[in-house]
Amino acid sequence: MRRLYQFTTVWWLLFAIIACTQLGLPVAVTFDEKLTAATSTVTALRDSTTSLLDAKKISSDDAQHIQDQLRNARAGLDIARGMGKVDPASANAKLTAVHTALMALQSYLDSKAAAVR
């Protein structure tokens, strides 16, 4: 029963993320909004990773690798935040790079959540 609950939780989280995008809810425009959105994405992906691990959709090694990548993404966001006032163009480039990595991780987790065993 617990596994079903965790699986359902992952699906609702992914559904909410996709639905918010498709419903045309406000999109992050400013640097600070994008930074906040990316930080929230890191948190959501950490939660999804834990749920997928608990549901045995991913291995512990895979979960550790994902968590390492999320730690790197968080460090990149911290760097971008620090650069934001000094070099906005570089800060935006860093933020874009981290966002791209987060979207790749999200796609990977989506594929694992959808996989039928």
Q: What does the alpha-carbon distance between residue 115 and residue 44 come to, in Å, rounded to a whole number?
A: 19
Q: Summarize pLDDT for 50-103 with one digit per residue, the tens.
A: 999 998 999 999 999 999 999 999 999 999 999 998 999 999 999 999 999 999
Q: Give pTM, 2 decimals.
A: 0.76
pLDDT value of position 11: 59
Pick 112 or 24 by higher pLDDT. 112
Q: Please, are residues 35 and 80 in contact by the beta-carbon 8 Å criterion?
A: yes
Q: What's the chain's Rg over C-alpha atoms?
A: 15
pLDDT value of position 29: 81
3-state SS class at 26: coil
Phi and psi at residue 115, to the nearest 5°: -65, 135
Q: Summarize pLDDT for 22-44 with one digit per residue, the tens.
A: 555 556 788 999 999 999 999 99
